[in-house]
Amino acid sequence: MKRRSFGMMVATIATAGCVAVQAHAQSLPRHPPINFTTGSPTGTWFPVAAVVAEAVNALYQGQPVSVTPSAGGVANVLSVGSGNAQIGVSYAPFLRLAQQGDNEMYRQAFPKLRALASMVSNALHIVVAHDMDFAAAVRAGRPLVMATGPTGSTELFMIQEVLTGYGSSIAAVRSAGGRVELLNTAGRADGWRNRQFEVVNFFINPPAADIISLMSARPDSRILSIEHAIASRIAERWGMLEVRMPPGTYPNQPAEVVTLGMPYIYFTTTELDDTMAYNIVKSIAENQVRLASAASAFNAWKPQEMVKGLGIEIHPGAARYYRERGWIN
């Protein structure tokens, strides 16, 4: 009888626990579905956003936030601005241009775009063969075999800018008999390891484990240092920063590398309600350890930097959280 009574007591406690959990879940608010458009599933944007979505979804019934892959930062602005997604990842220069409209990147203006948070800074990595004189090859019009990101990606945008700085373009490379393939992160990395390309590029936080891996797998790899004058012109035009990677940041890098970088931005529009915006930035700021589990760059990241380099006006809901923390006035 005692054994039976004990079993009934355990069952009663378990049932009560289930009821309590169900009651808690039912007490949470509901929210219409939200599409969070990020980047390639094999890059860092997608897994970091998945961590953020998981934390936000814990505050609502039905897990309203869904993370979806996309072509990248340029395309994400169009997706959110047109209402196909509600949250996106991009960069401050693109967001400013999209707000204004009537420019070479965004013909249509999206004045309702609003910033949520500045995340970690990414830098342009152009990987070339160790003995390759990139500047001479480009200026001479030699047919190159290259891989960059898909249409709408930051990688594609950046390599176009660099080629222009050296007096060339993707069209010119192809006209000369070269090849430029538009691939996701994994496709570029695999192609480089298999010696299918002599130039590939990535936009990622240094030192990036993926870059170390592909350079270690192919010892003739090196990170290209962009000529200072070209880097300065691109930085000034697009509001970027010159980034200097110290010697030894990557294998086969005995000297400092000059490149370009900027933090990536989570953004939305004025259509997103203030409470959701507040919960998103709160979930980012208060989950650094979980973010670092998805991308090691967050180990050195400081949450108070979320308000820096946003490029456009902060969403009111996000601004409320930042004021509570004393990060903005």
Q: Tell me, what's the pLDDT at 7?
A: 54
The CATH code that applies to domain 123-262 is 3.40.190.10
The proportion of the chain whose per-residue pLDDT surpasses 70, expressed as a percent, equals: 92
Q: Is the pLDDT of residue 156 over 90?
A: yes
- The SS3 call for residue 307 is helix
Q: Is the pLDDT of residue 123 over 70?
A: yes
Q: Which of 227, 236, 237, 233 is nearest to 259 (CA)?
A: 227
The proportion of the chain whose per-residue pLDDT surpasses 90, expressed as a percent, equals: 88
Q: Tell me, what's the pLDDT at 8?
A: 52
Residues 175-212 as b/e (b if ≥16 CB within 10 A, e otherwise) read: eeebebebbbbebbbbbbbeebbbbbbbbbbbbbebbe
The alpha carbon dihedral of 198, 125, 35, 112 has a sign of negative
Between 239 and 50, the more confident residue is: 50
Q: Is the pLDDT of residue 258 over 60?
A: yes
What is the full DSSP assignment across 243-294? EEEPTTSSTT--S-EEEEEEEEEEEEETTS-HHHHHHHHHHHHT-HHHHHHH
The CATH code that applies to domain 31-120+264-325 is 3.40.190.10
pLDDT digits (tens, 9 = 90+) for 292-305: 999 999 999 999 99
Q: Tell me, what's the pLDDT at 24?
A: 53
Q: Who contacts 279 (Cβ-Cβ below 8 Å, separation ≥6)?
A: 56, 59
The two structure tokens encoding residue 120: 């970690």
- The SS3 call for residue 18 is helix
Q: For 201-218, what is the mean pLDDT? A: 92
Q: Which residues of the chain form CATH 3.40.190.10?
A: 31-120+264-325, 123-262
Confidence (pTM) = 0.86
Q: Is the pLDDT of residue 162 over 60?
A: yes
